[in-house]
Structure formats: structure tokens, C-alpha cells
Amino acid sequence: MKPKITPTNVEVRFLPEEIIVSKTDLKGRITYANRVFMRVADYSEDDLLGVQHNIVRHPDMPRGAFRHLWDTIQRGEEWFGFVKNMTAKGHYYWVFANVTVDRFGDEVLGYYSVRRQAPPQAIEAIAPIYAEMLRIEREAGPAKACEASLAWLTQKLEALGTTYEALVLELFFQGRKTHVAR
């Protein structure tokens, strides 16, 4: 069961060259967490192994974003996206995530996720989108929250002439160029 943690307004950052890695089973329970993940999220290995990956889900993240993630990886495709996570102390950290299927031959064992520090410019661009998705979810109610916010996101992306993957990859690489140039 996910612990009841009160979010703070304290951001946790990690080095651009550091990578957070985790693996889950098919149900999203953590089977592996690297030391960077444990340090940044402020959980021990014992706290993480066997629990749902949503132990680090921040309440500012719309459910529709996770529906998009699950729909994508369950089709066997890799997913890229920005995620705001929460530490054991309630602090937050933004990541650029890449989630892929973990296979042994033809057998799907679970999912493998690699996360990097999200560039500040990318967060500035994605945060208002997520805030609108959350507003839509509150308005739609729990039973229709995911579908409503995901439908809005799909319409917004179609209007922009892009996909979620293309948008987040562009934001990530633009943000990295800006950060490196400084």
C-alpha cells in the first residue's frame, strides 16, 4: 500500500550524468532499483522491492499520463515522457523517463525504466499541460478521469500536429542543448 505522504515544495535534483533505473514485473511491482533511484527517492531497497512503482507518484501527475504510458508499453512499444515524482519525505523531482518492455526471448517479464533529470525548460512546457489534465480529471470525476484527460491531450497534440512522444523528445533535447550551452 502506498504510504500517505504530504507533498512539500522542495525540489530534489540529481546530476545530469546520473541515471535512475528500475525494473518492474507485469503488474508494476518493483523488482530492481538502482542506488541513484534509492538516493533520490529516499527509499531503501527493502522499501521499494515488491511494491507498486506508484510509490513515487506525485499527486500533481494526471492519471491520464499514466494511462498513456500503460497503453503504450502494453502494445510492446517504448514510452518517453516527463514525470513528476515524490520522495519518501514528500519532496519532488522531475524526470525524463524511457520505459521499455523487459523480455526474455518472446516472454515479457515486465518493464524496464531509465530516467534522467528533466531539463527546466521542458518542465516549464509540460507542467501547464499536466495541470490542465488534472483540472479535467477533477471535473470528470474518478470513473472518467483518465479517459477525459487523455482525450483532451490527444486533441491538443492533434491540433499541434504532433504526438506525445515527438513533443517530449523535442522538449528534452531542446532543454539539454540550452542547459549545455550555459
* 7-46 pLDDT per residue, tens: 999 999 999 999 999 999 999 999 999 999 999 999 999 9
Q: What is the pTM assigned to this prediction?
A: 0.92
Question: For the residues 129-152, what does the mean pLDDT come to?
Answer: 97
Please tell me whether residue 127 adopts helix, strand or coil conformation.
helix
Helix (H) or strand (E) holding 60: none
Q: Which CATH class is domain 20-181?
A: alpha beta
- Residues recorded for the chain: 182
Q: Is 109 exposed, middle or buried (0-12, 13-18, 19+ CB in 10 A)?
A: middle
From CA 67, how far away is CA 22, in angstroms rounded?
Answer: 19
C-alpha closest to that of 10 among 122, 117, 109, 88? 88
Amino acid residing at 76 = G
Helix axes 63-74, 145-160, angle to 10 degrees: 80
Domain spans of the chain, in order of start:
20-181
| Angle made by CA atoms 86, 19, 170, in degrees to the nearest 5 | 85
DSSP-derived letter for residue 93 is E
pLDDT of 182 strictly over 60 = no
| Each residue's pLDDT tens digit, 37-81 | 999 999 999 999 999 999 999 999 999 999 999 999 999 899 999
